[in-house]
């Protein structure tokens, strides 16, 4: 009986897990920053228009839930498919770095194995800046909720 109740609670969802933003461009930049203009034909413009799911839950390709549900700030509304094909580098999308008053900030999106929704990750080291990351503060490593990257592993699309 208790297991059924807990299972029902798990599927009801947490009211705090709703995402108020409709697209990547709707995620507000931190105070003192602004988005740079982007030519509509650039990849960056396309990325900004990507829709976000209302629910912040990350699902695997088979519909099951990703084990860690605390890493994502938002989830892209893009199908992961129904087979375990979209993994790691296939789905990892790093949103193009933005110039903001001479400082570079950026959003990071990830996916992993098994295939799962692509999701924008939180910045675990700067709550007031999250989900944005500041390039200048990442000296040797970039910490995300689930991974640590060497700074030389960051890439951006050219304008």
C-alpha span between 55 and 68 (Å, rounded): 15
How many CA atoms, within 13 angstroms, populate the side-chain half-sphere of residue 111? 24
Domain ranges of the chain: 15-153
Average pLDDT per consecutive 10 residues, the chain (159 residues; last block may be shorter) = 32 58 91 84 77 91 90 85 63 38 76 87 89 74 86 65
What CA–CA distances, in Å, run from 75 to 33, 111, 158? Answer: 23, 10, 24
The whole-number pLDDT of residue 97 equals: 34
pTM score: 0.54
Residue with tokens 């990830």: 110
SS3 138: coil
- Cβ–Cβ under 8 Å, residues 125 and 148: no
């Amino acid at each position: 009986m208790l297991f059924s109740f807990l299972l029902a609670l798990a599927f009801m969802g947490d009211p705090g897990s709703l995402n108020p933003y409709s697209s990547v461009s709707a995620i507000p930049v931190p105070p003192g920053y602004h988005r740079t203009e982007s030519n509509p034909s650039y990849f960056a413009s396309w990325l900004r228009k990507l829709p976000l799911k209302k629910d912040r839950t990350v699902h695997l390709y088979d519909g099951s839930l990703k084990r860690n549900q605390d890493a994502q700030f938002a989830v892209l509304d893009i199908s992961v498919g129904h087979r375990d094909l979209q993994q790691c580098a296939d789905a990892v999308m790093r949103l193009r770095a933005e110039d903001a008053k001479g400082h570079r900030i950026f959003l990071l999106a990830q996916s992993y194995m098994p295939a799962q929704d692509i999701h924008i990750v939180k910045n675990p080291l700067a709550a007031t800046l999250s989900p944005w990351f500041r390039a200048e503060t990442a000296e040797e490593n970039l910490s995300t909720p689930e991974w640590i990257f060497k700074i030389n592993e960051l890439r951006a699309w050219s304008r």
